[in-house]
Amino acid sequence: MMIALMTLYLALLFTLVWLGIIRFNAFWKASPLIVLLLLNIGLFIPMGWGAPQGAAIVVRNAVSIVPDVAGEVTDVPVAANVPLKAGDVLFKIDPTLYSAQVKAIDAQYKLAKTRLGQMTQLYERDAGRGFDVEQRQSEVDQLSGQLESAQWNLEKTVVRAPSDGYVTNLALRKGARVANLPLSPVMAFIDTSNTLIGVEIDQIDARYVSPGQEVEITFKFVPGHIYTGTVETVLQAVATGQAQTSGTAVAPKAIEAAPFVVRVKLDDESFAARLPAGAAGTAAIFTDHVKVSHIIRRVLLRQVAILNYVNPF
């Protein structure tokens, strides 16, 4: 844009000199440098904080699927990268052992309830002790809890999708044995119910960014297109400013002005849901300052969108 404006000025200057409207003296010879300086000071430098631009990326929450019960996998009905709804079956574990536990505890529970009823009748007829009733009631309560736990385990032999999304890098197969160990996930589930778009803005340009401001984004994934959105929030911390619990003294390190991350929400929610995790692009945020620079930033962003057809970086 700077080159375009300077080219326009030089063409205008050449035309005026050629028509004899102005004399090509020392002032007009130096005027391109003066115009260049004025454009930088009055427009392009303030545009950095009036309409900051930064790299954008689509981030999705990944859920490590760990079964709540152990056993042999009997069925894996899902396919990798196929959209799923919350509650869809991911895989099934052999329920034989857990079903047997439910039946055994249920039989004991029914017997205990029968005994409780008998003891209660005897106590009401003054033919039994209250202690026996309380003891039977305790047994019933314990077996009720055990039965509830066994039924829960049986239900967990069918592992379901925690939300809308898809399974990626699927290697689980029928016959594999899985365990309920936190460090042994069996598949990765990508949550698509919420699309997170982060934009990196240099600290020097982030001073006026606030929630609700207009945003325009172009993605490498969809070259030539501009999508609108709004600023949701400015994240109030980056890793370089985080203090962690440690038994050592402060370790000196080089301090760098890491960019702040701005979270953005697209207006087109259906398109946002289709964006793959990791989709990168460029975003511009239009603040309430230096509004004259907004037009130039919009033009520059559209140039980036067009260059995305040929620029892979």
Nearest to 96 by CA among 9, 171, 157: 157
- The mean pLDDT value for 21-47 works out to 75
- The mean pLDDT value for 174-178 works out to 93
Q: Please say if the pLDDT value at position 102 is more than 90.
A: yes
Q: How far is CA 112 from CA 108, 133, 150, 283, in A?
A: 6, 11, 17, 67
Q: How far apart are CA 71 and CA 242, in angstroms?
A: 41
Within 8 A by CB and 6+ apart from 276, the residues are: 58, 221
- The mean pLDDT value for 118-135 works out to 75
Task: Please indicate whether residue 121 or residue 215 has the higher confidence score (pLDDT).
Answer: 215
- In the prediction, which pLDDT does 4 show? 67
Q: Please say if the pLDDT value at position 108 is more than 80.
A: yes
| Domains in the chain: boundaries | 1-49, 51-60+195-239+257-313, 62-189
- In the prediction, which pLDDT does 1 show? 61
- The mean pLDDT value for 203-213 works out to 92
CATH class belonging to 51-60+195-239+257-313: mainly beta
Which of 4-8, 13-17, 227-231, 246-250 comes out lowest in average pLDDT?
4-8
Confidence band, pLDDT 50/70/90 cuts, at residue 5: low
Give the total residue count for the chain: 313
What's the chain's average pLDDT? Answer: 87
- The mean pLDDT value for 24-30 works out to 75
Percent of the chain with pLDDT over 70: 94
- The mean pLDDT value for 278-297 works out to 92
Task: Please indicate whether residue 149 or residue 273 has the higher confidence score (pLDDT).
Answer: 149
- In the prediction, which pLDDT does 2 show? 61
- In the prediction, which pLDDT does 197 show? 94
Using CA atoms in the order 66, 67, 71, 77, what is the torsion angle rounded to 10 degrees? -100
Confidence band, pLDDT 50/70/90 cuts, at residue 304: very high
Nearest to 205 by CA among 48, 59, 77: 48
- In the prediction, which pLDDT does 19 show? 79
- The mean pLDDT value for 246-263 works out to 82
Q: Please say if the pLDDT value at position 39 is more than 70.
A: no
Confidence band, pLDDT 50/70/90 cuts, at residue 52: very high
Task: Please indicate whether residue 107 or residue 27 has the higher confidence score (pLDDT).
Answer: 107
- In the prediction, which pLDDT does 313 show? 79
Task: Please indicate whether residue 15 or residue 43 has the higher confidence score (pLDDT).
Answer: 15
- In the prediction, which pLDDT does 251 show? 74
CATH, range 62-189: 2.40.50.100
- The mean pLDDT value for 286-298 works out to 91
- The mean pLDDT value for 70-80 works out to 94
Span 130-152, pLDDT tens digits: 777 788 888 888 999 999 999 99
pTM to 2 decimal places: 0.73
